[in-house]
Structure 1
Amino acid sequence: MTQFTPTLQPLHQSSDNNNILVPRITNSWPKFQQSKALGTLGDGNCMEQLLIHCADAIEANDVTLAQQILWVLNNIAPPEGDSNQRLVATFLRALIARATKSGSSKLLAAVAASSHNNTTIATSLAVQTHRFSVMELADFVDVTPWHRFGFTAANSAILEATEGFPTIHIVDLSSTHCMQIPTLIDAIASRHDVPPLIKLTITEASRNIPPILNLSYDELGSKLVNFAKSKNITMDFRVIPSTHEDGFAALIQYLGLHRHRVVTSEALVINCHMMLHCIPDETLSSAISRSSLRSLFLKALRRLNPTLVVLVEEDADLTWSDLVSRLRAAFNFMWIPYDTVETLLQRGSKQRQWYEADICWKIENVIAQEGIERVERLEGKIKWEQRMRNAEFQGISFSHDAVSEVKAMLDEHAAAWGFKKQDQHLLLTWKGHNVVFASAWFPA
């Protein structure tokens, strides 16, 4: 991407539209005509550059420049615009949230002053981001394969790895609160003449990370146990009070004690669906240890000698410590969910509002938060492969049947969705861009 360095001068009234404020643009913008400034600034690359300069200004506490760029971005990226404009409006909101956390009285005053005549800024300051719930996610899952891709690939791998075991212990570390499990139960029931006993272990969800579980664990367990019973499967359901913040230490301890007591006839499956990226990475590691909690968690899993580990994550790297690099990486990935929504969901629909609120939360977390509060620390497929191999896991190729299942599932969705097999793993794509990867591992 070509890098531009715009020079923003004090704002003035545009001769094309007296109600729109645009910056005076110097020759630093190559081949830009001032009379076409607004349209040119609406280009995605230029909006990205403006966001980067706004981030730099906020980090440098440059009140004047930050306020100027906030005004420009507001005028070229209305929150009700097209997918690119809504994406930029969300990043603008995230930058404002970061500015309000900076503690600078001058910058806070400037933003507050701007908010009186600036719809996006006023909305950003006044409205708390909607917390996407698991019930809302349930309404969305069938619309796109964003989650279904991982569900389908993982279920196929689990079925094959657990063939012949009378007991299957599934540890479900999932951001979707067991939404995958009913389809897995159904597949297990149809595959076995004598259904195995299923033990399902989950961890307590963080109350701060959407989608929010808006029912009790007793209710969730009861629903799953009753569904399994309807398929003639006996299920044991257990919740372990353990979270991502310490690398699921209590879960590892429980599994270690439990593993020593069981016979080899029990298959242990660790199903990780878009959850492990919440475990702190190297930037939050203790000074005593050079390893991140992620690596320590994977090595602890290896000592349990599981039958299978399934890892499904979004294929992006948002672990950069500096804000500008993180903003670039997030901008060049987060356009995808906005683009899919633009294609698939009607403007103004509740379903679209819910889903975009979830995207907004993620972007705000990536941009506005630091330290332990920043949980959206995605890593790409290559980095996760390295971590798994370092923990002495070996990748398993997905079978022909698994690939066929994924293909059949994608046939139900828009043609812009696709998938490819890369090395041993599967990748979901949108218009050719990597979105989610699915991988399966066993102890080396």
Structure 2
Amino acid sequence: VDKVATYFSEGLARRIYRLYPQNPLDHSFSDIIYMHFYEIFPYLKFAHFTANQAILEAFEGRKRVHVIDFSMNQWMQWPTLMQALALRPGGPPAFRLTGIGPPARDNSDHLQEVGWKLAQLAETIHVEFEYRGFVAKCFDDLDASMFELRPNEVESVAFNSVFELHKLLARPIAIEKVLSVVKQMKPEIFTIVEQEANHNGPVFLDRFNESLHYYSNLFDSLEGSLQHKMMSEVYLGKQICNVVACEGVDWVERHETLNQWRNQMGSAGFVPVHLGSNAFKEGYRVEENHGCLMLGWHTCPLIATSAWKL
């Protein structure tokens, strides 16, 4: 509770004195704190597993598959999928991965480094692998022609986004533009993981109260070594500062609920794909919500995983 209060106090102080937090950390440090968060946040591993299962089912029987990932800075999802493809009866398909990520402040080629790591794994497990990384400040700058799509009968496409789409809500029509581009590419499936929270309302007091409740539960749920917890708290503290201190286009952590995303996806012409799970761990809660999965701590939902098709 003390740590949560500290981050919210800092956010309020920054809001009052207009000392807005600078956004991204350099990629090397950002990567480190995210890895610590990944180690002690079981929901994220479970969300990756659930999304991967949906992608595997959508790709069943296909010889060439292509995943386009909006969240390539969170690349830990893909080794598991590649290993599952390698074990597919009849042999693995050719796997193409297009990763999209933000530019690095330290000018490092982060996306290429990720590609090398995955290529080494692919060679070890005998999966034919092709990779391309795109640096993009804004997803709505992307165009379908950039992805060099092959005909549907040759290659099946899936889209994936983990904790990224809510950042588009800071700019008018950005989300509509991105979903329109996705539709043009006719994917077999679009898997989405988002925070299950409502931090995008116009009334600051409501946003503050909602986020205080949400992050208090999130901090309570963290488990693991002291080092993992400390680094994870830095990662979450940056989000809290953004939610509390920022406005306008600087306020990017605009989390919305599954129901709001359901309306957004439905308006764009997508229909839900049913996800199933029997995973359970003491204290953690998995709840099915009209075919989507909400993962939480005790009675508080924290993240939602959903899958969509045209």
TM-score, normalised with respect to structure 2: 0.90
Amino acid at match of 2:177: L
Deviations 1:137-192 (A, max 9, x none): 32442323131121010011011110111111001112643110000100111124
Aligned-CA RMSD value: 2.5
Letter of the 1:334 counterpart? Y
Shift of 1:267: 0.8
- CA–CA separation in structure 2 for the residues paired with 1:214 and 1:179: 19
Cα deviation code 1:52-100 (max 9, x no counterpart): xxxxxxxxxxxxxxxxxxxxxxxxxxxxxxxx23212211111111122
2:103, 2:255 → 1: CA distance? 17
Structure 1 residue 101: Cα displacement = 1.2
Instruction: Give 1:16-415 correspondences, 5 Å limit.
Output: 84-101=1-18, 133-174=30-71, 176-207=73-104, 216-243=110-137, 245=138, 247-255=139-147, 258-259=148-149, 261-281=150-170, 284-285=171-172, 292-341=173-222, 344-345=223-224, 349-399=226-276, 403-404=277-278, 407=279, 410-411=280-281, 415=282
Residue correspondence of structure 1 range 417-436 to structure 2 within 5 A: 417-436=284-303
User: SS of the residue aligned with 2:60?
Assistant: coil
| Aligned CA distance change for structure 1 residues 207 and 100 (closer, same or farther; 3 Å) | farther
Q: How much has 1:130 moved relative to structure 2?
A: 7.7
CA contact (8 A) 1:278 1:376 kept: yes
Q: 1:314, 1:136 → 2: CA distance?
A: 18
SS at match of 1:184: helix
Q: Distance in 2 between matches of 1:129 and 1:100?
A: 21
Paired position in structure 1 for 2:308 = 441
Shift of residue 254 of structure 1? Answer: 1.4
For the residues of structure 2 that align with 1:130 and 1:239, how far apart are their CA atoms? 20
Aligned equivalents of 1:97 and 1:297: distance in 2?
32
User: What is the percentage of aligned positions where both structures have the same residue?
Assistant: 23
Q: Distance in 1 between matches of 2:107 and 2:256?
A: 25
Amino acid at match of 1:237: Y
Deviation at 1:442, TM superposition (A): 0.8
1:146 match: secondary structure: helix
Q: Which amino acid aligns with 1:223?
A: K
- In the alignment, residue 256 of structure 2 is paired with which amino acid? E
Unaligned runs of 5+ in 1: 1-83, 104-124, 286-291
Q: Distance in 2 between matches of 1:352 and 1:174?
A: 23
Shift of 1:298: 1.3
- Spell out, residue by residue over 1:20-45, the C-alpha distance to the aligned partner (whole angstroms, 9 max, x if none): xxxxxxxxxxxxxxxxxxxxxxxxxx
TM-score scaled by length of structure 1 = 0.64
Cα pair 2:188 2:309 within 8 Å, conserved: yes
TM-superposed deviation, 1:193? 2.4
State whether residues 165 and 196 of structure 1, in contact with CA within 8 Å, keep that contact through their aligned partners in structure 2.
yes
Q: Distance in 2 between matches of 1:186 and 1:213?
A: 31
Q: Which runs of 5+ in 2 are unaligned?
A: none
Q: Is the 8 A contact 2:72 2:99 kept in 1?
A: no
Q: Match of 1:233, SS?
A: coil
CA contact (8 A) 2:144 2:184 kept: no
- Contact 1:241-1:251 within 8 A present in 2 as well: no
Residues 398 and 364 (structure 1 numbering): CA distance in 2 closer, same or farther, change over 3 Å? same
Higher CA-based Rg: 1
